[in-house]
Structure 1
């Protein structure tokens, strides 16, 4: 470690690239950034490595700039490459294209001054604090020491269900299927839509059964402005039933004035993290257990045309939404035999299918993480799960809190791994603000 302030970022997906870009944005800042991604692909991660044309971002281009203080940055980038003709920012681009944008943002940040950015294609196995700095240990046996380490590992996919019979979309086992094969998809969120898109692009014509606990389909976007909500009108710190009654009343009032419920959801967005933090542990647990599926389908919406196509597939019977419990699956001939218990019944229904796709989400208890860095930090008490076990425990400045309750600003976290404190921290508009704030704090200490 040299005298220059230095930061090692573990994870080269969207969170890691956005933090690096904000750290390097000022060409006069004397800081060295090392960005480590074991796959060697920067700016893509789980979300933006999707290959299909219709695997698209679920936020219009106007909200996807890497920099919140330059909201047209992404739109300008699109226009220079022949997209968004006429400056139309109400477009939902392929996720692979957005991954290319993030990669370009990183490249430009690294060009601003020689030697300020180093990218490594390696796996990190441990992070250790010492007197001279914080050490990042690599799988190849080497290590590097810096003033700060930021964990930007993003989402972690759970192992597929059904004793490995279910398949993850895009995995090696996701081989081509006969076009008339019957398919089951577990989960009905955005990942399910990805699986349906992949099947559609392969001209799949067979029946598709979608099984989820509540059988809910994500709603579609509509180009409507958010309403203005005064912070004084938001019932922070109340119990969940009171808050939901207030929210529903606001939706009714807006719709009675010829408005749209989307305007309410989007108008509340600036307050989402503060609302989450104002709730008791009991209220937050209630929300996760009972209301999150309904919140997700209204908050994380589909591009309008993709939503219309999905609804059409349901209406013509190719896709069937089943609200119920996935009981299990076993191999049956060349395919599989699954058992489902529909909601409100006690009877198990048997369905023969050619394949089961597990699209049941990405949340995972960090104590059972497959990431060696997270496992090592938690096992040795240098980090601890948040109280709901949906991420790592961090303070308001994203510093990791250890098993004894002490925070260290040498070890920082950005992105979805901070969801226990911030909850709404999975979309670019939220992560870019977190990245800017975290970068400003690091630079102020350099």
Structure 2
């Protein structure tokens, strides 16, 4: 076991976007004498689930002007692109391949490590557990060693669910995602951004067969437009009101904006600075109402597609190659090399059987930490040092991102950053939100826990 360093020290568990952004903010000031250990079991830093996509058309869904690692330097990413001669006819309003953004995050981490030799250590290891003691936080690795630091931060990001239906359905890009005949019929479960990735993979392979997209609401993500957000005064936002009242206010604001020649996107983006406050001012039953009834509609308007990808998808639907079905997925069976999928269309009690060559499960990411496959999360929950939030969509944390244990107590030495904090912050899955959280968390850590 390594002894805790006398100087400020942080172990970050997870080397995807959240972990890299936190490390970059901790190391940003070259005069700050802090030791940062960043651990990622895959050994690829800055990639994670979101930015490891290797295909050219798998793009970020935020324009370059909003993807800087640093909120107070919004042109940082755009300058990086320009230095590499990235072509853009629309300036910084360009949507880059996700793999390129992963390379940018790796560059940000590399530059942070250069600012002062010895301040950053990166490890390709799997974390099994963390323990708190008088010496600090001990992070135990699968290789039998451990690291002791003053703080430890979980930055494990998204976790994919196992494919449904006894493994008959497959995940895009997995080992079981083998080549298909070009005219084969395919079903995709889910109609969000993960579905778009699956459709793009098929399109890039020149797939010509019919693609049936099944989701409960049959909704497609909307497309971006280069329109500015409207200015909304916080005094005009109805914090803490009922969901019906809030939605009436929101729809009235959209109608008013569009009546003056504006765009609904300007309203959604103008509300963004208040999203976390809106969420936190709702009682638990209102949050559950939102998740159950409105989240799909919010997602398609809030998490939009690059315009060229949206236009391609709309054309594929119009031509009939992609068929949207609002239905409940019941299950699948494999029969003589084919897959028979059963669905129940919305508003019907009758099951319908469709025969396809493959079912892709694009139902999104896992959010219930009680079913996590991550060993460190399982260990924390099993030993009572962490608990799920009230909605079971992340870990329970306090306002400073400190983990809350089974008794409701927290410590500023064991922290969380990124999507695992969605129960408290909800809007914490995109770079513009995570970078602000990372900067705030870094400030708290560097002040030695004096918030």
TM-score range, shorter chain: over 0.9
Q: Residue 50 in 1 paired to residue 53 in 2?
A: yes
The question of whether the paired residues in 1 share the 8 Å contact of 2:88 and 2:94 is answered with: no
- Report matched runs for 1:254-403 at 5 Å: 254-403=257-406
Q: Which residue in the other structure is 2:99 paired with? A: 96
- Partner Cα distance (2:365, 2:5) in 1: 38
- Partner Cα distance (2:88, 2:207) in 1: 32
- Partner Cα distance (2:397, 2:347) in 1: 40
Query: 3-state SS of the aligned residue for 2:312?
Result: helix
Shift of 1:335: 2.3
* 1:115-172, Cα deviation, whole Å (9 max, x unpaired): 0000000000000001110100000000010000000000011111111100001111
- Partner Cα distance (1:50, 1:122) in 2: 22
Query: 3-state SS of the aligned residue for 1:445?
Result: coil
Structure 2 length-normalised TM:
0.98
- Partner Cα distance (1:13, 1:263) in 2: 30
Point out the more displaced range, 389-398 or 359-368.
359-368
- Partner Cα distance (2:375, 2:88) in 1: 45
* 1:86-138, Cα deviation, whole Å (9 max, x unpaired): 78101000000000000000000000001000000000000000111010000
The question of whether the paired residues in 1 share the 8 Å contact of 2:329 and 2:344 is answered with: yes
- Report matched runs for 1:2-151 at 5 Å: 2-85=5-88, 88-151=91-154
Of 217, 220, 223, the residue aligned with 1:220 is 223
Q: Which residue in the other structure is 1:232 paired with? A: 235
* 1:6-25, Cα deviation, whole Å (9 max, x unpaired): 00000000000000000000
Query: 3-state SS of the aligned residue for 2:428?
Result: coil
C-alpha change, 1:42 and 1:250, in structure 2 (3 Å) is same
* 1:381-418, Cα deviation, whole Å (9 max, x unpaired): 10111000100000111000111111100000000000
Name the Cα RMSD after superposition: 0.8
Shift of 1:289: 0.4
Shift of 1:82: 1.1
Query: 3-state SS of the aligned residue for 2:366?
Result: coil
* 1:273-299, Cα deviation, whole Å (9 max, x unpaired): 000000010000000000000000000
Q: Residue 191 in 1 paired to residue 194 in 2?
A: yes
Alignment: residue pair count: 446
The question of whether the paired residues in 2 share the 8 Å contact of 1:150 and 1:411 is answered with: yes
- Partner Cα distance (2:194, 2:71) in 1: 27
Shift of 1:347: 1.2
- Uncovered stretches (5+) of structure 1, i.e. residues with no partner: none
